Chain A
Amino acid sequence: MKAFTQLTGLVAPMDRANVDTDAIIPKQYLKSVKRAGFGPNLFDDWRYLDPGAPDIDNASRRPNPDFVLNQPRYAGAQILLARENFGCGSSREHAVWALDDFGFRAVIAPSFADIFFNNSFKSGLLPICLASEVVDQLFGEAAAGEGYALTIDLEAQTVTTPAGEAFAFEIDEFRKHCLFNGLDDIGLTLQHAEQIRAYEQRRRDEAPWLFA
């Protein structure tokens, strides 16, 4: 997994609550058996004026000029600023892969749906919860000036504005450790293989029907 340490990145504001994973990456693109290549279809239904499908060349489609990520001032954005309950709905990790493939490294919102939040860490995308009032303030600042960038410091657990105002965020120690060092979860878990086997043996005795 990609490590995340520190980032200063352009902010793109997505001003709507309950953005679901169907909106982040529509179902027709889930037929892929690969992990990469979802970026061009991130927010597909909102991003283009005409319908899309895996066999349609995006170059032939008309971009929706009103959609935030199509505005030149947000080109190259690495931080997505969002509203409540971001990433709700389906468990599709393709949503995280699409954000990552597009170039986002972090999403800041007042709250996230649990599965999306959890999936994000697996691809090195950092989801950051900040208080509603703080997110409101950041939306205001991002709209006010072009080129608005935030600095995220994972070690210090802070988001800092261009004016130098720093906001602290929470993250589980274990998740932070894995993300900071870009560690492979599976490799870590397999270090405890003996403990897993011991647990399994005990359960086989207690509840053999679980192993039928």
Chain B
Amino acid sequence: MPGKTLYDKLFEQHVVRREADGTALLYIDRHLVHEVTSPQAFEGLRLAGREPWRLDSMLAVPDHNTPTVDLDQGIADPVARLQVETLQRNCRDKGVTLFDMGDVRRGIVHVMGPEQGATLPGMTVVCGDSHTATHGAFGALAFGIGTSEVEHVMATQCLIQKKMKNMLVSVDGRVGPGVTAKDIVLAIIAEIGTAGGTGYTIEFGGEAIRALSMEGRMTVCNMAIEAGARAGLVAVDQTTIDYVEGRPFAPSAEQWPAAVAAWAELVSDADARFDKTVRIDATSIQPQVSWGTSPEMVVGVDATVPDPAAEANAVKAEGMRKALAYMDLQPGTPIGEIAIDKVFIGSCTNSRIEDMREAAAVAKGRKVADSVALAMVVPGSGLVKRQAEAEGLDRIFLDAGFEWREPGCSMCLAMNADRLEPGERCASTSNRNFEGRQGQGGRTHLVSPAMAAAAAIAGHFTDVREL
């Protein structure tokens, strides 16, 4: 019998029972909750007269709708305010731990969880948000669920799941200077496509992944969903253990040695069999810039906007034409000639302390171009913000002409007041360049924090390595 993949191990460890057709009842260790996808689930519980199965598995935080300025004035939008108040009331009524407005620990759910040590190796982690894949960076099986499943987990601590197939994406060798975790994952998506991981759990491995910090690994796993995979994974190593140690929700000192010993098993066996393996040469990865309306529509900064006429697949070519029309771009245009209106540095993909440092290193001693209407930095949590300020990063950004905001999802999905106006073009460190994602008619180009900062300074995309 071949060995087991990390995913095989995590899945099997959590099976409560199996149906005849292989459908499993999977136990959930950590349930993260936010204001947008939970109200109908709490309502469902109430209507059925049910109580949460295990309160201590739940951790809630408002992040999608929250303002990034003037927090003391509350939420101006009455519909958004009602949603946040509904979360507050639901958590109070049921006794769910909430990191509420005004709490320094509040932040984007996928930044807050790991930062608190609420995400641990070997856990199953779910949240009503597709970017729950982020937590797979810890060797945890983490995936996004819909609201009906949020209610299901609340009521039963379990989910009904079919096992996915195993894919290994191995990024071999080391990336060059100026090439980041974001560029690695965008290059992976360009290679396998936005549906390439559908039906799979992707384990990211190889020297370039092993060399990443936990922040970098979270950036990579975060966008597994943009490659179609509900869950991404990175095997546990010393980097993982060092990150977790001492965090508020981490195992106690007495439990720590046993936990670390158990976590050592959270790697794929040497003879594990993957249904699919993709190898990517890290040395060939350039800083990436997306040009279209799907995350797979991405090229290196030194490339040009591709031509649909050169695409053999008719459905794909039509998709490219629609994307170019929406983005108002011409085939053959050098990426470096695309001018931008706004810059957004933030989101669950790129708002951790390392991302802040990476962007600040580019911004330091420089000025945002006059042609850029708004360049904003939105730290992922109150604690990231505090740490960045302790390091003086806020001063660097403010001196350069960036705005330094309060934590939240912000312009990644523009549910709050931060958004693009129709026709505006944005260099964004977020994860989705879909039509209208950052505001109706807005045009999103996905990049790393360093590349976003460089674009802010230049007023157009530019190779951060040449700045």
Contact = CB atoms under 8 A, between A and B. Distances in A.
Q: Does A pair with B?
A: yes
B16 interface: yes
B347 interface: no
A92 B37 contact: yes
Contacts of B316: 17
Nearest to A122: B148
A175 B21 CA distance: 10
A211 B27 CA distance: 13
Contact of B228 (A26, A85, A209): A85
The number of chain A residues touching the other chain, given as a range, is 35 or more
A174 B24 CA distance: 10
Contacts of B432: 20, 22, 89-90
B252 A212 contact: yes
A166 to B, nearest CB: 23
Bin chain B's interface residue count: 35 or more
Contacts of B69: none
A172 B195 contact: no
Contact of B27 (A89, A203, A206): A203
B199 interface: yes
Interface stretch (B91-99, B122-130, B179-187): B122-130
A192 to B, nearest CB: 6
Nearest to A50: B440
Contact of B144 (A91, A174, A190, A208): A91
A34 B40 contact: yes
22 contacts: A16-B318, A17-B319, A18-B195, A22-B435, A23-B435, A26-B440, A30-B64, A33-B43, A89-B225, A93-B146, A96-B146, A114-B198, A173-B23, A174-B160, A175-B23, A189-B156, A200-B27, A207-B262, A208-B255, A209-B252, A210-B29, A210-B123
A122 B149 contact: yes
B82 A209 contact: no
A186 B156 contact: yes
Contact of A174 (B23, B40, B230, B258): B23
A161 interface: no
Contact of A186 (B37, B54, B151, B228): B151
Nearest to B40: A35
Contacts of B65: 31
A85 B194 contact: yes
Interface string A21-32: 011001110111
A20 B315 CA distance: 16
A172 B23 contact: yes
Nearest to A114: B230
B252 A172 contact: no
Interface in B104-128: 120, 122-123, 128
A141 B74 CA distance: 54
Which among A28, A30, A91 has the highest number of chain B CB atoms within 10 Å? A91
Nearest to A32: B79
A199 to B, nearest CB: 5
A123 B40 CA distance: 13
A55 B79 CA distance: 9
A5 interface: no
B436 A23 contact: yes
